Amino acid sequence: MRDTTPDGLSRDAAPRVERALRATRLTKRYGDVVAVDGLTFSLVPGTITGLLGPNGAGKTTTLRLVLGLAAPTSGTAAVFGRPYRLLEEPSRRVGALLESDDFDPGRSGRNHLLALTLAAGVDIARVEEVLALVELTDAADRPVGTYSLGMRQRLGLAAALLGDPELLILDEPANGLDPAGVHWLRAFLRAFAQAGRTVLICSHVLAEVAQTVDSILILSRGRLVAERHMEDLPDARTLEALYLSATTDEAA
Amino acid sequence: MIAQLRSELHKQRSTRTSLLLMAWMVGLVVLVVALHVLSFGATDLSRQSNQMKILGLGTAIGALFAALFGALSITAEFRTGTIRPTLLVTPRRTRVIAAKVGASMLAGVGVGVLAEALTAGGEAVGLAARGVEVELTGGDYAQLVAGGAAAAAFFAAIGVGVGAAVRNQVASVVGLCVWLLLVEPLLLGDVPAVGKYAPGASAGAVAGAIQSQIADSLVVPGLGLALLAAYAALVALAGSLLINRRDID
């Protein structure tokens, strides 16, 4: 578990705070295209961080690298000190909602969660808890193919919460939620972070992010182009100005 | 590992895919057996070797559907995207493949028994209707069902490996059908010295017959079983290696 130098000595002399997530010079190339370019950032426990950027900036690729779905060309991404693929019982540490609508339309919502719960080794009573939390209990036996976008989004959130994780990674979580749902999600994430846990939200809806996060990272063409605390951005308009200047500079 | 196996068994039971596959298989067995029993002359039908050849249809259909069962267990996850949540919960992909192999082999046993029993039963009914006596022994039937179950189990594992390597559902299904229904019969017909060592022919050796091939053109059952186990292990291992090396989109 401890970092060791090549000669096997531990580096306890300089202990580091364990970050929920730490990316170090993370890079992903597809042929000549650099999707993620030397990205370095870390998440402080107890905070909500927004990962912003236009489509194609590398947000989703970054999440796939962090979650072990894709392998970096170079650099590292560590979750609680180790690569995601080496985590024991990852669902108890990390919950993720991806934007890709990952359900079998013929399987019911409850069975989708049950299959994941069985694999995660989590108590199956947890399925009913998360269904109630996202208010899907009544629709749980219907095939997911009959769900609205908002319902699928809530089912994805329920799946992310199955293992009661310490880190939540959400790609466009407000997508398809009605205003009441967005309000509920914001309060939920706020309480989640106040309990000392960590949230990373990917989005390009600036106004929504501005109301939810503690700090932002802005990606453009795979690079980290700005990093700010929300205290330094008094209103949504300042955020928008920063976003536009950060993401359009290089395109000119 | 047990957790992943339970999850895979739950996935099998929680969509209609398994049931639909079985319905297709039952329909196909009934059709194929009926065609053969009705089209052969009574003298031909009364020969033990021809009665065996009809039983061999069950082996081929059982092996094919078991392989499809295995392949769909993984290609359906790529098609619907559930592969992502599956790998987020179990990022050690070899465990996922091993669980799919285990769950599909269990299902394969059922598929094999069902295909063989249905073929044998259908043939017996057809022969009785045409007034032809059954020339097969209890030993023939025992080998058919037990061997067909074992062969189908290994073909299910082959299906998982093919699905993990190919990922695309249509390509996997077409590939397995072409191999079993087209390439293997050609191999056995044109180059039997090589063809008898192929996976389908090995399944026939274990069960006693496959399609139009019976024991005298196949390897001994023990060798057939060993070959099938080796093919299943190789293909599943290849699928596992590839899925570990590749990115998930």
Q: Please compute, for residue B8, the number of CA atoms within 13 A of its CA located in the half-sphere on the CB side.
A: 27
A152: nearest Cα among A113, A205, A123, A122: A113
With cut-offs at 50, 70 and 90, classify the pLDDT of residue A249: low
Report the alpha-carbon distance of residue B209 to residue B116 in Å, rounded.
11
Report the alpha-carbon distance of residue A201 to residue A95 in Å, rounded.
12
Residue A250: the pLDDT is 53
Judged against a pLDDT cut of 50, whether residue A1 lies above it is answered with no
Judged against a pLDDT cut of 50, whether residue B154 lies above it is answered with yes
Provide the 10 A C-beta neighbour count for residue A55: 7
Residue A47: the pLDDT is 95
Judged against a pLDDT cut of 50, whether residue A2 lies above it is answered with no
Contacts of A102 in chain B (CB under 8 A): 80-85
Give A5-37 as a DSSP string. -TTS-B-TTS--PPPSEEEEEEEEEETTEEEEE
Provide the 10 A C-beta neighbour count for residue B182: 10
> Are A119 and B7 inside 8 Å of each other by CB?
yes
Residue A17: the pLDDT is 62
> Are A90 and B4 inside 8 Å of each other by CB?
no
How many Å lie between the alpha carbon of B175 and the closest alpha carbon of chain A?
A: 23
Residue A248: the pLDDT is 86
How many Å lie between the alpha carbon of B7 and the closest alpha carbon of chain A?
A: 5
Residue A10: the pLDDT is 43
Judged against a pLDDT cut of 60, whether residue A13 lies above it is answered with no
Give the tens place of pLDDT for each residue, A60-103: 999 999 999 999 999 999 999 999 999 989 999 999 999 888 99
Judged against a pLDDT cut of 80, whether residue B55 lies above it is answered with yes
Give the tens place of pLDDT for each residue, B2-34: 999 999 999 999 999 999 999 999 999 999 999
Residue of B nearest to A159 (CA): B85
Over residues A213-217, mean pLDDT? 95
Residue of B nearest to A115 (CA): B7
Judged against a pLDDT cut of 60, whether residue B41 lies above it is answered with yes
Residue A208: the pLDDT is 82
Judged against a pLDDT cut of 60, whether residue B191 lies above it is answered with yes
Residue A185: the pLDDT is 94
With cut-offs at 50, 70 and 90, classify the pLDDT of residue A40: very high
Residue A210: the pLDDT is 87
Of A96, A103, A114, the CB nearest to B82: A103
Residue A62: the pLDDT is 97
**If you average pLDDT over every residue of chain A, what do you get?**
90
Provide the 10 A C-beta neighbour count for residue B192: 14
Cβ–Cβ < 8 Å for A119, B4: yes
Most B CBs within 10 A among A91, A107, A167, hence the mutation to make, goes to A107
Q: Which amino acid is at A148?
A: S
Report the alpha-carbon distance of residue B234 to residue B229 in Å, rounded.
9
Contacts of A120 in chain B (CB under 8 A): 3, 89
Residue A207: the pLDDT is 83
Residue A91: the pLDDT is 97
Question: With the C-alpha atoms ordered B4, B6, B12, B15, is the resulting torsion angle positive or negative?
Answer: negative
Instruction: Please tell me whether the interface predicted TM-score (ipTM) of this complex is above 0.90.
Output: yes
Q: Which amino acid is at A143?
A: P
Residue B4: the pLDDT is 97
Residue A15: the pLDDT is 46
Contacts of B6 in chain A (CB under 8 A): 118-119
Residue A16: the pLDDT is 56
Over residues B171-193, mean pLDDT? 94
Q: Where are the domains of chain B?
A: 2-244
**If you average pLDDT over every residue of chain B, what do you get?**
95
Residue of A nearest to B247 (CA): A70
Report the alpha-carbon distance of residue B25 to residue B16 in Å, rounded.
14
pTM: 0.93
A154 versus B211: the higher-pLDDT residue is: A154
Residue of B nearest to A71 (CA): B247
Residue A237: the pLDDT is 86
Q: Which amino acid is at A175?
A: N
Most A CBs within 10 A among B80, B88, B243, hence the mutation to make, goes to B88
Most B CBs within 10 A among A61, A102, A117, hence the mutation to make, goes to A102
Beta-bridge partners for A200:
A49, A169
Q: Please compute, for residue A187, the number of CA atoms within 13 A of its CA located in the half-sphere on the CB side.
A: 8
Report the alpha-carbon distance of residue A152 to residue A107 in Å, rounded.
12
A208 versus B177: the higher-pLDDT residue is: B177
Contacts of B4 in chain A (CB under 8 A): 119
> Are A104 and B15 inside 8 Å of each other by CB?
yes
With cut-offs at 50, 70 and 90, classify the pLDDT of residue B158: very high
CA angle B238, A86, A50 (to 5 degrees): 115
Give chain B as a DSSP string. -HHHHHHHHHHHHTSSHHHHHHHHHHHHHHHHHHHHHHHS-HHHHTSHHHHHHHHHHHHHHHHHHHHHHHHHHHHHHHHHSTHHHHHHH---HHHHHHHHHHHHHHHHHHHHHHHHHHHHHHHHHHHHHTTPPP---HHHHHHHHHHHHHHHHHHHHHHHHHHHHH--HHHHHHHHHHIIIIIHHHHHHH-HHHHTTSHHHHHHHHHSEETTEEGGGS--HHHHHHHHHHHHHHHHHHHHHHHHHSPP-
Give the tens place of pLDDT for each residue, B95-120: 999 999 999 999 999 999 999 999 99
Judged against a pLDDT cut of 80, whether residue A6 lies above it is answered with no
Q: Which amino acid is at B159?
A: G
Report the alpha-carbon distance of residue B27 to residue B202 in Å, rounded.
25
